[in-house]
Amino acid sequence: MKNLFLYLTSLAFLVTPALAKQVQLEAALANPLLKSGQTNKTFLKVGLTGFALEADQERTPVNVALVIDRSTSMSGGKIAQARDAARLAVQRLGAEDIVSIVAYDNSVEILVPATKLTDKTPVLKAIEKLEPTGNTALFAGVSKGADELRKFFSKEKVNRVLLLSDGQANVGPRSPGELGELGASLVKEGISVSTIGLGLGYNEDLMANLASKSDGNHVFVENEVDLVAAFDREFGDILSIVAQEVVVTMDFLPGVKPLRVIGREADIAGQQVTTMMNQLYSEQEKYVVVEVEVESGKVDETRRVADVAVSYANLATLTPDRLTSELSVRFSDQAEVVEAQANAPVMAACVLLVATENNEQAMQLRDKGDIAGAKQALFDNAAYLESSAHKWDSSALKDYGFSNLSQSAAIDSPDWSATRKRMIELQIENNRQIGHGSGFVFPIDNQKKTK
């Protein structure tokens, strides 16, 4: 019976990669071997990797709303770069795509209502009208952008609001919580909001909250000359989405208690953990990490830990797919063996999320005014990352260690605002595994472009 289970599991592993155009599910425990005779805490990681797009394959059409801040603070180079960026976005899209452009200041103007991009000229012309005026009605801008998406809303398209702002929202709802609630509601519709914060004047908590609650990307662009590149990356992501409406359900078996989900929103209801992702990108891994408590077991006991089920909408085949996996642990009384059996990549991923959590806490200390405490916390975090990087052989941890170290150094400098924005950007990047996408794009109107 046990063997049959193992067989089935291994079969699943064998079969899954063989099927073309399916998301790859990889569920693993940080410690597949646990110390017997004691209650253990370990991490469960559920990784989902989008399949590769092939060159002859049609990508998923996108339905994107560019929501652009044109308040007076955007004057000068910023608005010019924003125009360039918007122009680039339009150029990258094809005839099957839908674009709308919303500009906001005190009030909102829809420069381009949602339209199929069969003719780019009027859209490019409308972008020229982007001129800075007035205040920042960010909430209304996003609301209108989302409403433009709804006009052509389809689950078979990528529906995305791309928000560019350089300032505080000062008209309408303006707290990070309120914008987060908006994002949380939008993601339930299948709309993500990617936010690009430009310069040092914007509210990073608000922008980050809006993006992470709606499962969008968040980018900090300190200098407007990098804006076009940021747009480019974002569109690289948008155009490489292969799956949407991803729901990960983990049912933990008795003797295993899910403690918390790190870095993502999730429902923990008793033994069941549910979390959602709005999309998966091609050749990019997204994962969920759950900290679990495993009751003590006997030596050599094998215990089923959890059944993992993933459902998603496959944008290549336009069918709902379902993947399953089950996880077990064994127990050993030899500490060295347990240690050696640890899954290094999973450990690295988990350490990154924990370190990110530490980083968030350090930032909260700094926000409360405890600069010294924050500095120390970041320093400690850097040390933790450094040692973990070595232990689990992870360059990502090493990099983040350096980041924390430099953040620790910058925390009492006048440069704090930029540092904080960079910190938040990295936190989201880590929690949601942003920026690892291939960015490889297949334009829909290939023929048109080669002409």
Q: Measure the CA–CA gap between 216 and 354, rounded to whole angstroms.
A: 21
Q: Which long-range contacts (CB under 8 A, 24 or more apart) does 353-357 make?
A: 353/262, 353/263, 353/289, 353/430, 353/431, 354/262, 355/381, 355/384, 355/385, 355/388, 355/397, 355/400, 355/401, 355/404, 355/430, 356/262, 356/263, 356/400, 356/426, 356/427, 356/430, 356/431, 357/262, 357/263
418-447 b/e (C-beta count within 10 Å ≥ 16 → b):
bbbbbbbbbbbbbbbbbbebebebbbbeee
Pairing status of strand 24-29 against strand 40-49: antiparallel
Residue closer to another protein (CB basis): 181 or 222: 181
- For another protein, the closer of residues 33 and 126 by Cβ is 126
Helix (H) or strand (E) holding 48: strand 40-49
Q: How far does Cα 97 stand from its chain's mean position?
A: 23
> Minimum distance from CB of 144 to another protein (Å)?
6
Q: Cα 319 vs. chain centroid, distance in angstroms? A: 23
* Residue placing its CB nearer to another protein in the complex, 173 or 443: 173
Residue 252 sits at φ, ψ, to 5 deg, of -90, 140
Nearer to another protein, 176 or 197 (CB): 176
The residue written with tokens 């974002």 in the block is 234
CB of 86 to another protein, least distance (A): 18
Q: Which residues have a Cβ under 8 Å from the Cβ of 434 and sit 6 or more positions away?
A: 217, 218, 428
Nearer to another protein, 286 or 375 (CB): 286
CB of 172 to another protein, least distance (A): 5
Q: Which is nearer to another protein, 270 or 414 (CB)?
A: 270
Shortest distance in whole angstroms from residue 105 CB to another protein:
9
> How far is 186 from 47, CA to CA, in rounded Å?
24
Instruction: Give me the least distance between CB of 162 and another protein, in Å please.
Output: 17
Residues binding another protein (CB under 8 A)? 102, 106-110, 137, 139-140, 142-144, 146-147, 150, 171-173, 175, 177-179, 181-182, 184-186, 188-189, 267-270, 272, 274, 276
Closest CB to another protein among residues 274, 376: 274
Min CB(143)–another protein separation in Å:
4
| Dihedral angle over CA of 355, 361, 367, 371, nearest 10 | -70
Taking the complex as a whole, the smallest distance from the CB of residue 68 to another protein amounts, in Å, to 14
Q: In angstroms, give the least distance from the CB of 265 to another protein.
A: 8
Residue among 123 and 228 whose Cβ is closer to another protein: 123
Q: How far is the CB of 181 from another protein (least distance, A)?
A: 4
Contact 49, 349 (CB under 8 A): no
Dihedral sign computed on CA atoms, order 142, 145, 150, 154? negative
Closer to another protein at the Cβ: 68 or 377?
68
- Upper half-sphere CA count for residue 425 (Cβ side, 13 Å): 20
Q: Which is nearer to another protein, 209 or 240 (CB)?
A: 209
* Shortest distance in whole angstroms from residue 171 CB to another protein: 6
